[in-house]
Amino acid sequence: MVKMDSTLLKGLTLLEAIVAEGHPIGISALARRVDLPKSNVHRSISALREGGYVNFDAESRRYYPSLKLAQMGRRVNAGFPFRMAILPVLRELVAATGESAHFVLLDGDSVVFVANARPDTTVASVIPDSLSLRWEDTALGVALVSALPPEDRARLLARTETPTIRDWLARTERDGIAQLPRHATRRIFELAAPVRSGWDTVIGAIGITGPSMRFDDAKLPDRISAVTSAARIAFTAHEGLSAGPDHG
């Protein structure tokens, strides 16, 4: 076993617990949640406070996360290696199709929108960076999962209740592209393909979205080829990058 700072790990777990709580929480409740002595939590939280990661509501004597994490999160996303590499590809996809382009990564049961590019023209629906969506709720997610190794795909499938998802997955695997002419709740269409690294492991998905009214059968072949070619060049053009995150 590798040596490491257990104190640091415990503190981070504590921070996660505070974040997960979603509202200000007191020492005792927190100690119960993470199963640690009160005095211990009290000391650790002092460090988090000193570091500026949590605020203290003096009136209710409760702790809640400060905005520091939110700002660090933005920086992380902005400088994420994948993002830097993928952005030019997305811009090209926007130029080719005139629609918004997106790149997503899998994280647990969700897809995270790591990078987005949109046309200069006015758009109705905007996807913010690092938005997290259930994979089965978007073509990007379906495209990604369709290309996963069987065991991983099975594990994800076991946890979903969407009845038609298996058909959609099968169609996507056959065509190499996930199509969604009209999103269930948002009035948009989606077109997405998995992105593979040089060794054929899936690392994400790339795709475009736009108003459903622009889901035109005549334009479809061109758009499909634009998306698939974007997926192809996505990482062959940037081989210098590593195989990806080793977590998640």
Partner DNA sequence: TTGTTTTGTTCTACTATTCAGAACGAAAAC
Partner DNA sequence: GTTTTCGTTCTGAATAGTAGAACAAAACAA
The residue ranges that bind DNA (CB under 7 A) are 2-8, 10, 26-29, 36-40, 42-44, 61-62
The label of the residue with tokens 């073509």 reads 139
Q: Residue 207 touches which of a copy of itself, DNA, none (CB < 5 to 8 A by kind)?
A: none
Between 63 and 168, name the residue whose CB sits nearer to a copy of itself.
Answer: 63
196 token code pair: 């593979």
Q: Residue 27 touches which of a copy of itself, DNA, none (CB < 5 to 8 A by kind)?
A: DNA
Q: How far apart are CA 114 and CA 140, in angstroms?
A: 12
Q: How far apart are CA 28 and CA 192, in angstroms?
A: 47
- Residue/partner pairs of 167-174 with CB below 8 Å, 24 or more apart: 168/142, 169/142, 169/145, 172/142, 172/143, 172/146, 173/146, 173/147
Q: Residue 162 touches which of a copy of itself, DNA, none (CB < 5 to 8 A by kind)?
A: none
Distances (CA, A) of 220 to 33, 71, 179: 51, 39, 10
Q: How many Cβ atoms sit within 10 Å of the Cβ of residue 89?
A: 24
Q: Residue 185 touches which of a copy of itself, DNA, none (CB < 5 to 8 A by kind)?
A: none
CB of 19: closest distance to DNA in angstroms? 17
Between 27 and 87, name the residue whose CB sits nearer to DNA.
Answer: 27
CB of 205: closest distance to a copy of itself in angstroms? 15
CB of 244: closest distance to DNA in angstroms? 17
CB of 56: closest distance to DNA in angstroms? 7
